[in-house]
Amino acid sequence: MSYVDGFLLAVPKVNKDAYRRMAAMAWPIFRDLGALRHVEAWADDVPDGKVTDFRRAVQAKEDETVVFSWIEYPSREARDEANKKIMTDERMQWKEEMPFDGKRMVYGGFRPLYDKGEGAKYVDGFVCAVQKDRKDEYKKHVEECAPLFKEFGVTRMVECWEDDVPDGKVTDFRRAVQAKDDEVIVFSWMEYPSKEARDAAGKKIMSDPRMQAIGKKMPFDGKRMIYGGFAPILDEKN
pLDDT, tens only, 108-119: 999 999 999 999
For 136-166, what is each residue's pLDDT tens digit?
999 999 999 999 999 999 999 999 999 999 9
Whole-prediction pTM:
0.96
Q: What is the pLDDT of residue 4?
A: 98
Closest CA to 176 of 125, 112, 127: 127
Which residue type does 140 have?
Answer: K
Cβ atoms of 20 and 40 within 8 Å: the answer is: yes
Output phi, psi for 22, to 5 deg: -65, -45
Q: What is the pLDDT of residue 214?
A: 84
Which residue type does 32 have?
Answer: D
Cβ atoms of 192 and 155 within 8 Å: the answer is: yes
> Helix or strand or coil: residue 79?
helix
* pLDDT band for position 104 (cuts 50, 70, 90): very high
Q: What percent of the chain lies above the pLDDT cut of 90?
A: 89
Least confident window among 5-14, 44-53, 89-98, 219-228 = 89-98
Q: What is the pLDDT of residue 211?
A: 87
- Within 10 Å of residue 207's Cβ, how many Cβ atoms? 9
> Helix or strand or coil: residue 117?
strand
Q: All domains of the chain, ordered by start, with CATH?
A: 3-92+100-232 (3.30.70.100)
Query: In the chain, where do the E strands start and end?
Result: 3-12, 37-45, 64-73, 106-117, 122-131, 156-164, 183-192, 226-237
- Alpha carbon of residue 73 to chain centroid: 15
CA–CA distance, 53 with 63 (Å, rounded to integer): 17
For the chain, the straight-line distance linking the first and the last C-alpha, in angstroms and rounded, comes to 11
State yes or no: pLDDT of 1 exceeds 80. no
Q: What is the pLDDT of residue 96?
A: 83
Q: Which residues contact 27 (CB under 8 A, 6 or more apart)?
A: 35, 38, 234, 236
For 213-224, what is each residue's pLDDT tens digit?
888 889 999 999
Closest CA to 116 of 135, 92, 136, 139: 139
* pLDDT band for position 205 (cuts 50, 70, 90): confident
Q: What is the pLDDT of residue 101?
A: 97
State yes or no: pLDDT of 48 exceeds 90. yes
State yes or no: pLDDT of 87 exceeds 90. no
In DSSP terms, 122 is beta-bridged to 192
